[in-house]
Amino acid sequence: MRVVSLHADVLLATSAIWQTNCVIVRGTAQEDTGNPVKVRVAGELSPDAETFVIDSPILPEELEVLPALLEQSSFPPPSGLLVTHADWDHMLGRLAFPDATLGCAMSTAERMRSTPGVVQRELRAFDEEHYVQRPRPLALGSVQALDTPGGCEIGSQELALHPADGHTSDGMAVWIAWAGVLVAGDYLSSVEIPVLGEGASVDAYLATLERLRPLVSAATHVVPGHGPTLDSGRAIAVLEEDLLYLDALSGGSDVDLPGGRRTGTQRRIHSENLKRAGA
């Protein structure tokens, strides 16, 4: 797993599997007086903080080191976990933090209610295929459904939550405004073409891309669900490539895969997209 700092309050952990991204964000905590609470870290006074973990890495050893990573980086244990959508590879945070509450968009909570046990079954199938052993099964525990569009307080800061369906029937993107970081979920990847999963909609996907455009333009870092972090200019270029791909896909015309995303795996994904789009 590769870990980098995107901002003093934002860490990015990237799994060795599918370049799956997990974002750890810290917001300054405050007393009722509005004054920042102070704690002593490494001999110096530093603001206390509240931490959320957004999405998750995949491998057991990656999940195992997350608590130590937070401690070493002076991030407190997470008060909550957020998931951008209900695909299993983004929902493993409770294996690292079993007592943390799981927060998600209302659309994701509904997807989970309507398909109980799917996340666990798909995780077991992955583990069996790749001979992965985990110390315990995944228990999703309590789930808090959040409004999108809406906000989520983290200490004295607030995360902005934006609806992001289209890849699946559910989802949200998370805008960390004070850090200039957009956590996009499974959108805007430079290594993966748009994927139409269960409950996907080309029209909804196109609408999500346009909804994200102003955030991408304002961002310093755009974190896709899979693949390297992008600066604003590169992310806008990926967005435009994805719009062209989806427009051609929905129109039934010949489709050119975006440059740099023409591997055998992406061609297989494209074949599945054609089936789901009815092209």
pLDDT tens for 136-177 read 999 998 899 999 999 999 998 999 999 999 999 999 999 999
Q: Residue 86 corresponds to which tokens in the numbers above?
A: 């209900």
Number of domains in the chain: 1
The answer to whether the beta carbons of residues 27 and 9 sit under 8 Å apart is yes
Tokens of 169: 């029937």
Other C-beta atoms closer than 10 Å to the C-beta of 134 total: 15
Domain interval for residue 259: 2-277
Tell me if 87 sits within 8 A of 168, measured CB to CB: yes
91: domain CATH number? 3.60.15.10
User: Cα 147 from chain centroid?
Assistant: 17
* Res 278: pLDDT: 76
Helix (H) / strand (E) element for 248: namely helix 232-251
- Residue 159: the pLDDT is 97
Instruction: Give 10-residue mean pLDDT values along the chain (279 residues).
Output: 96 97 86 37 50 98 97 93 97 95 96 94 97 94 93 94 97 97 98 94 96 98 98 98 93 82 94 84
